């Protein structure tokens, strides 16, 4: 069914659209966490470049989804009302500033990594609002989805940052990771509570499965590995914790976009009845 009074699954956004949220979110989060950590030198430059590469990969996914890719420049046509346009503008500014920040961090010259972090935050905020702007889809239009996607991006970035801990050696990596993963879990529980009773059955099932992956595989298990890493020497446990947290966040966004994207169906406040006279008001 493609329309009617019963909920139906949207088909306009597939795994390629989800790839934009997955790559763009994780990459933006990595840029922001790298800036917050205060790491300098080659390690910081590599992390910034990795974040930009993930953002670029996400944008390439959504570009591949376009029916007419050569008309991609039209995305810049409506900055006053379109969050997709604002996302594209933020990405256009972020890329050169990010490369400049990586170079300056590598060489120890001008410190502009904070500007790259602000643009990364603007990019992921626009991306989150773009999803929340789909008013007909219950799981997307919930206002808490914006905070959830922002927290998920930061938690993914912290996971990738922790994944690279053997190379940068930041002492703040585990603390940042713990705080952000717990914040993501709390926002997920609040998001699901606000959606209670409003989701289509299949959307509820899909989000329930994604929630178990996020809370168990992306929260409890990674935090247990971080705690265990203090008793067991070696970086393997923290690397695994970061990887699990990042993958769980990406899986949640994949499910949210592709499997939980159910329209609410038509809502008629007054149903016409044959032979009955209709009056306004």
Q: For the segment 113-141, what is each residue's pLDDT rounded down to a tens digit? A: 999 999 999 999 999 999 988 888 999 99
> 126, 95, 117, 237: which is closest to 177 by C-alpha?
237
- The answer to whether domain 15-258 has CATH 3.10.180.10 is no
What's residue 58's pLDDT? 93
Q: Which pLDDT band, with edges at 50, 70 and 90, does 234 fall under?
A: confident
- pLDDT value at 87 more than 70: yes
Phi and psi, residue 183, nearest 5°: -65, -45
Q: Where are the domains of the chain?
A: 15-258
Residue owning tokens 């007909």: 136
pTM: 0.89
- pLDDT value at 238 more than 70: yes
What's residue 114's pLDDT? 94
Distances (CA, A) of 120 to 17, 132, 151, 153: 19, 18, 13, 10
> 36, 51, 275, 7: which is closest to 163 by C-alpha?
51
> 11, 23, 10: which is closest to 61 by C-alpha?
23
Residue owning tokens 């998920």: 152
- pLDDT value at 29 more than 90: yes
Token pair belonging to 222: 């990674």
- pLDDT value at 2 more than 60: no
What's residue 208's pLDDT? 96
What's residue 272's pLDDT? 62
What's residue 70's pLDDT? 62
Return the SS3 of 263: strand
Rounded-to-integer distance, Cα 131 and Cα 138, Å: 11
């Amino acid at each position: 069914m493609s329309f009617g009074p019963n909920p139906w699954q949207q088909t306009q956004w597939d795994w390629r659209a989800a790839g934009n949220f997955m790559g763009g979110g994780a990459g933006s989060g990595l840029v922001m966490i790298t800036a917050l950590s205060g790491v300098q030198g080659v390690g910081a430059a590599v992390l910034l470049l990795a974040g930009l590469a993930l953002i670029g990969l996400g944008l390439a996914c959504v570009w591949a989804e376009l029916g007419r890719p050569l008309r991609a420049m039209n995305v810049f046509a409506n900055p006053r009302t379109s969050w997709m346009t604002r996302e594209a503008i933020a990405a256009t500014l972020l890329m050169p500033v990010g490369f400049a920040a990586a170079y300056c961090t590598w060489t120890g010259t001008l410190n502009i990594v904070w500007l790259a972090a602000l643009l990364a935050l603007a990019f992921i905020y626009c991306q989150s609002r773009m999803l929340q702007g789909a008013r007909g889809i219950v799981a997307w239009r919930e206002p808490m989805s914006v905070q959830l996607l922002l927290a998920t991006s930061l938690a993914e970035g912290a996971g990738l940052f922790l994944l690279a801990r053997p190379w940068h050696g930041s002492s703040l990596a585990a603390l940042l990771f713990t705080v952000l993963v717990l914040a993501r879990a709390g926002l997920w529980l609040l998001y699901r509570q606000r959606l209670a009773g409003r989701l289509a059955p299949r959307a509820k099932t899909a989000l329930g499965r994604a929630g178990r992956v996020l809370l168990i595989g992306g929260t409890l298990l990674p935090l247990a590995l971080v705690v265990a890493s203090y008793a067991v020497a070696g970086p393997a446990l923290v690397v695994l914790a970061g990887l699990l947290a990042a993958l769980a966040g990406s899986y949640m966004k994949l499910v949210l976009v592709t499997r939980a994207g159910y329209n609410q169906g038509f809502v008629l406040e007054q149903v016409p009845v044959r032979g009955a006279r209709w009056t306004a008001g």
